[in-house]
Amino acid sequence: MFGRGRGGEAAGAAGRVVPLDPDRSLVTAAQVDPARFDALYRKYLAQVYSFAYHELGNHHEAEDVTERTFLLALDALPRFREQAPDEAGPEASTFRVWLLRIARNTIANQRRTLRRHPATRLDAVGEAAAPDDPERAVLARADASAAWAAVARLPGDRRRAVVLRFVEEMSTAEIAGVLGRSEGSVRVLLHRALRTVARDLGERGETP
């Protein structure tokens, strides 16, 4: 779906056509009646949860982050404004980008809390990995693939960029919005991440 985005008159004047937010009608309905937020919740639950799980490597922590992300999003929804990329730069936002940006910040807060107050739940005793250590978490899983482990060994934003690209199937522009970086920088992040994964798999005797 393409057209001139809201607030995109300047971009339109320059002849640029920017993609519309496919969730615009759902967002507008939820802004009028918060009970309609349920449709957005059902649509993006798996994406937010999956992103949190890949970052934290623990189902319980992923559930906590998912819950807080959606509660924050519902509370802040009246203030959400779709912004065209040309105008807003790193602040450009469709609903999905805005939501995953909230998730990213919530995950960062969760990590800080876990570092300050490490705690082990009784039902998580079997999980040897610390929730704030995705590499150990992934390696601890019996079904972890070599490719998965290679991704978990990547540094912060490279790992997030790979997860958003391959798992959430986001475009480079969307990832730039979530990570607060330029598109060019995200392309380089992804390129370097793939190179590292290829080398890692090669060194471990895996066919990349």
Partner 1 sequence: MTTPATLDSIEIEALVTDRYLDALLAAAERRPPDAPGDPAPDPALDPALRSAALRLRDELVRVHPSFRFEERLARRLAEAAAGMRLATAVGGEGTLLPFPGAALDTARPVPRRPLLFGGAVTSAALGLAGAAFVAWRRTRGAPTDPMARAIRLARAARAVRDGTATELH
Beta strands at 18-19 and 2-3: parallel, antiparallel or unpaired: antiparallel
Residue 159 makes contact with partner 1 by CB under 8 A: no
Interaxial angle between packed helices 95-116 and 37-56, expressed in degrees from 0 to 180 and rounded to the nearest 10? 40
In the bound state with partner 1, the residue whose beta carbon lies nearer, of 25 and 118, is 25
How many residues bind partner 1, per CB under 8 A? 52
CB of 96 to partner 1, least distance (A): 14
The answer to whether residues 93 and 83 touch, using CB atoms and an 8 Å cutoff, is yes
CB of 13 to partner 1, least distance (A): 27
Residue ranges of E strands in the chain = 2-3, 18-19
With CB under 8 A as the contact rule, the residue among 18, 44, 54, 154 that binds partner 1 is 54
- For residue 196, the surrounding DSSP H or E stretch is helix 183-203
Residue 34 makes contact with partner 1 by CB under 8 A: yes
In the bound state with partner 1, the residue whose beta carbon lies nearer, of 10 and 198, is 198
Backbone angles phi, psi at 93, to 5 degrees: -155, 130
Q: HSE-up of 98 (CA within 13 Å, CB side)?
A: 24
In the bound state with partner 1, the residue whose beta carbon lies nearer, of 72 and 114, is 72
CB of 10 to partner 1, least distance (A): 25
The answer to whether residues 94 and 119 touch, using CB atoms and an 8 Å cutoff, is no
For 22, which DSSP code? T
With CB under 8 A as the contact rule, the residue among 29, 105, 147, 182 that binds partner 1 is 147
Residue 171 makes contact with partner 1 by CB under 8 A: yes
With CB under 8 A as the contact rule, the residue among 5, 8, 27, 37 that binds partner 1 is 37
The answer to whether residues 201 and 150 touch, using CB atoms and an 8 Å cutoff, is yes
Which residues lie below 8 Å from residue 63, measured CB to CB, with a gap of 6+? 49
Residue with the two structure tokens 């779906």: 1
With CB under 8 A as the contact rule, the residue among 18, 27, 56, 62 that binds partner 1 is 62
List residues near partner 1 by CB under 8 A.
33-35, 37-38, 41-42, 45-47, 49-50, 53-54, 59, 62-63, 66-67, 70-71, 74-75, 78, 145, 147-148, 151, 162-163, 165-169, 171-172, 184, 187-188, 190-192, 194-195, 197-199, 201-202, 207-208
